[in-house]
Amino acid sequence: MTHALEIRDLSVRYASKGLALDNVSLSIPKSGVVALLGANGAGKTTLIRAISGLLPLHGGQIVQGSIQMDGQSVMGVPAHTLVRRGLGQVPEGRLVFKQLSVEENLKVGAAVLPRATERERLDGVYALFPRLLERRRQAAGWLSGGEQQMLALGRALITQPRLLLVDELSLGLAPLIVSAIYKQLDLVGKTLGASILVVEQNARLALNFAAIAYVLERGRVTLSGPANEVAQSAVVQESYLGARRKEREA
């Protein structure tokens, strides 16, 4: 079976440092939703960089393994080419262009599309996030954190990607805002049939959203399987869901 994304035995090293990823394997079924959990420094960002073609910009190097999208190798493929092939990314920290307007930010995301489709794709994003339509002429730097996250997600979705990487979507946002954005993300997955990899600090949220989960510790996958089973494991209960801490406090 061809997966939307298949990573096999991937090891990554940064200059003058040890391995950041060590023999990592991970797969995302077509139209599947996968959560990647791990503490700071576990290697989550490195994995995202390796998938998205941005690893060389950060001094990283793949020393072994393979990465395939839709059954085709993407090793060494530039980031802009991956976007054309159907990869979308919502980076950690949102990274909107603060001096540009909302619509100009979205047009940056649409730069790889034929010009004739731009208006239709913009309207599609505005339908998902009406707040962005209201703010379309406003500088992105003046948006709230939640609105900036909507913009970062809209910028990634404007190409209608087949594979979407979402990095720390809930970071710094109020729970109600996070819930609203995840509802739209769920709608996108079901409407477009997009496969989604969610890297999320909120383990409970990620495990409820995804069908499959992986736990990354010190550059290695230590646990994987159906998200509901991973959620019940002792390690995840204690380290990510705080179960034993709550018992001690009680």
Tokens standing for residue 68: 């395939």
pLDDT value, residue 242: 65
Round to whole Å and give the CA distance between 145 and 99: 15
Tokens standing for residue 24: 């990592």
Q: Is the pLDDT of residue 182 over 90?
A: no
What percentage of the chain reaches a pLDDT higher than 90?
A: 58
pLDDT digits (tens, 9 = 90+) for 213-235: 999 999 999 999 999 999 999 98
Of 51, 83, 90, 87, which Cα lies nearest the Cα of 67?
Answer: 51
- Which CATH superfamily, name and number, covers 5-249? P-loop containing nucleotide triphosphate hydrolases (3.40.50.300)
> Rg (Cα) of the chain, in Å, rounded?
18
Round to whole Å and give the CA distance between 12 and 47: 8
55: DSSP letter: G
Q: What backbone phi and psi angles, to 5 degrees, belong to 138?
A: -85, 145
pLDDT value, residue 25: 97
Round to whole Å and give the CA distance between 184 and 128: 7
Q: Which residues pair with 212 in a beta bridge?
A: 34, 226
pLDDT digits (tens, 9 = 90+) for 187-203: 888 888 899 999 987 88
The full length of the chain comes to 250
Round to whole Å and give the CA distance between 133 and 19: 44
Of 111, 200, 94, 92, which Cα lies nearest the Cα of 151?
Answer: 94
Which distant-in-sequence residues (6+ apart) come within 8 Å of 217 by Cβ? Answer: 38, 39, 42
Q: Is the pLDDT of residue 245 over 60?
A: no
Domain boundaries, the chain: 5-249
pLDDT digits (tens, 9 = 90+) for 4-48: 999 999 999 998 778 999 999 999 999 999 999 998 889 999 999
State how far the alpha carbon of 24 is from the alpha carbons of 42, 183, 208, in Å: 12, 30, 24
Q: Say what the pTM is.
A: 0.89
What percentage of the chain reaches a pLDDT higher than 70?
A: 95
The mean per-residue pLDDT over the stretch 157-181 comes to 87
Sheet holding 19-28, edge to edge: 19-28, 5-14, 60-69, 72-73
